[in-house]
Chains A and B, each alone.
Chain A
Amino acid sequence: MLICENLSFSIDGHNLISDINFKIKKEKDLLITGPSGIGKTTLLSILSGLQKPTNGNVIYNNINLYNLVENKIDYFRGKQLGIVFQNFNLINTFTINQNLQLANKNLDSKDNDHLFELLERVGLADKSHVKVSKLSTGEKQRVAVARAFIGKPKWIFCDEPTSSLDDKNTDIITNLIKEESLRCKASLILITHDKRIQKILNFDQILKLGEEL
C-alpha cells in the first residue's frame, strides 16, 4: 500500500502543494488530475523520491520513504518504482538499446532476453540500434515506457504520458502502460490533464489536486 500523509511542498515561502492525503492499495490504479501549474509533476517527484517534501510522509508498505538515507531512496526507486516522464528523460545520444541497458545495469541484471521481449511488445525491436534523437515523439514515449518496466516495478508513475501524442499514439501508449502494469502486477499512478486517457482506462481512484475523493 502507498500512503501519502499531509504532503506539502513549498519554495521560497510559496506553497506548490499543500496537505495532500491519499491511500492506494497494491495493484490498484490512481489517476491524479488538475490544471497545469497545480503541482502534479512536483507531487510525482515527491512520490518517487526525487524531491523531499516540506512536510508529510510517503509510506510504501510500511516503509517511510523519506526516513531512509538518500542512497537507500535511490535504491528503492531503482528496484520498486518505474517512472515515465513527461519529456521522456532519455539519453538522446544513446541508442534505444543502450538506454534500456543502462536501466538494466543498475538492476545488476545480466538477463538481456527480457529487454528484447519488452522491445517486441512496445514495437521497437527492429529499431533497437537507432539513436533516440532520431525517433519520433511516439517512439520516444514507447522507449520511455519500456525503460520504466525493465525492473518489473511494483509502482508505476506516469507524468503526462500522452500530452504530446496524437489520438492514435495516445491509444497505443495508454494501453501499453496498462498492459505492462498488469503484467508486473504493479499499481499505476498516472498524472495527466488529458481527458482522452479517462476514456481509454478505468481507474480505481481519482485524485483531483485540491480535492480528496
Chain B
Amino acid sequence: MLSMLLMILGMTIITVSILVNQITKSTFNKNNPNVDVVVGAKGSPLQLILSSLHHIDIPTGNINYENAKKIIKHPAIKFGVPISLGDNFQNFRILGTDTNFFKLYDTKLKIGKLWEKPMQSVIGYNVANVTQLKIDKFFVGSHGLIDTGDVHSEQPYKVVGVLKKTGTILDNLIITSLDSVWSLHSGQNDNDKNLEVTSILLQYKNKASAFSFPRLINKKTNMQAASPNFEISKLFKLTGEAHKITNYLSVLIVFLSFAGIFFTLFNNINERKYDLAILRTLGFSKRKVFSIILIEGMTIAFLGSLIGLLFGLVIYKTIEYFSLLGKSMITGQFEFFYEIFMVWMIILVISFLTCLIPCIKVYKQNIRSTLINN
C-alpha cells in the first residue's frame, strides 16, 4: 500500500512539473509574434514584457504617443504597433491598437469585420465562447485590468468581429482602436501631444540593432526598451532552479516507490513461499508462478503510476483554471502528453526490472525443501 502511495505521489509531481514547465514555455513562445523589442515606461523590463505581450501583469506606466510614433519611424525599425491597456470586460483585457496589430499575428476573422470607427471591437475566440458576446452585441468595459465593477457605462463597445482560434493570447483579448481607449479616459482626446499609449511592439529591420537600439532608448529617453526573448529566458532561468528541485524530489519519491515495490514483493514471497511451493506441486509451472509475482508487482506500479498521472492532470487543470497565468495558457497541447507518456513508460520499465529480482528468487525456489522446512 505504501509503495503504491509513493508511486502515486511521485507520478503526480512529475506530471504536474512537466505540464507546468513545458506548457508555460510553449505558451510564452507562441505568445510572442516575432516582436524583437517592446518600448514602454521605465520600470521592470520583465513586467513590461509580461504586460504588453503576455497580458499577465500590470503595465509599468504610459508613454507619450507622439514619442511612440517617432520610435516606430526610427530607421532601425521595420514594423511597429502601439498598444494601450487599461480596461477589461469580465477579466478579458481590452487592448487599444491600430489594425496593423493583426499583421503581427497569423490570424483571420471568423466572422464580421475589423473596426471602422471608435467603440467598435473585435473579440478573441475564448472571449466569444466565455462571455457569449456576438456580432452587433454591446458591452461596457470595467476600469482596470481585472473586473472591479467600476464600469464605463456611458460608452459601450459594439462587437463587429470575432477572431478565429489562434492558440495564442489573442484568443483572450478584446481588441479595439486606440481612439476608443482614449475616448473613455478623460483628457486624452484633446490633442495629439497629450495622448498616451502603454507600449509599442517593434520589429527590427536588422537583428544587429538588438545591441544599439535598446541602449539608445534606455539612455536617451525616459522610456525603456526590453527584449522579450531575453526577459523570458531570464525568467525561466530563475524558475528553472525550482523546477529542477521539483524534478529531483519527484525522482526520489518514485525511486522510494521502486524500493517499496521491491520490499513488498520480497516480503510477500518470504511469507508465501510455502503457498507458492504448493502451486508448483499442483502443476503450476515456474513461469506461471513467476508471472503471478510479476503481475502482482506490476499491478502496484501500473495502477500507482496511472492514478498519479491522472491526479497530475487534474491538479494541473485546477492550477490552470485558478491561476492568472493559467488563463493565458494554451490548452490542448498534446505534444507534452507524449513526453509524459515516455516518462510513464520509463517508470514502468524500471518497475518491471525491480520486480524481476523477487521473481527470479521464486523461480529458483526448491519446492521440496520449502515444503519440508515448512
Contact = CB atoms under 8 A, between A and B. Distances in A.
Given A50-B367, A85-B371, A79 B283 contact: yes
A70 B371 contact: no
A107 B285 CA distance: 12
A89 B279 contact: no
Nearest to B366: A51
Interface string A88-106: 0111000000000011001
A91 B284 CA distance: 15
B49 to A, nearest CB: 66
A151 B282 CA distance: 10
A77 interface: yes
B368 A74 contact: no
Given A45-B368, A51-B368, A85-B371, A90 B282 contact: no
B37 to A, nearest CB: 72
Contacts of A106: 279, 282-284, 288
For chain A, give the interface size range.
Answer: 20 to 34
Interface string A143-155: 0000100010000
A102 B282 CA distance: 8
A89 B371 contact: yes
A85 B287 contact: no
A76 B280 CA distance: 12
A147 B279 CA distance: 12
Contacts of A151: 283
- Name which of B277, B280, B283, B367 has the most chain A CB atoms within 10 A of its CB: B283
Contacts of A89: 277-278, 281, 371
Nearest to A76: B283
A35 B278 CA distance: 26
B278 A90 contact: yes
**Is chain B's interface secondary structure helix, strand, loop, or mixed overall?**
helix
B164 to A, nearest CB: 59
A102 B367 CA distance: 17
B284 to A, nearest CB: 5
A50 B285 contact: no
B286 interface: yes
B135 to A, nearest CB: 66
Interface in B266-280: 275, 277-280
Contact of B283 (A45, A51, A75, A91): A75
Contact of B280 (A41, A74, A91): A74
A56 B287 CA distance: 27
B362 to A, nearest CB: 13
A38 to B, nearest CB: 15
A34 interface: no
A83 interface: yes
A131 to B, nearest CB: 14
Interface in A127-155: 147, 151
- Name which of B282, B288, B368 has the most chain A CB atoms within 10 A of its CB: B282
Given A50-B367, A85-B371, A71 B287 contact: yes
Nearest to A79: B283
A84 to B, nearest CB: 11
A45 B367 CA distance: 10
Given A75-B283, A77-B283, A106-B279, 16 more contacts: A48-B281, A50-B280, A50-B368, A51-B368, A70-B285, A71-B285, A71-B287, A74-B283, A77-B281, A81-B283, A85-B371, A89-B277, A89-B278, A102-B279, A106-B288, A107-B283
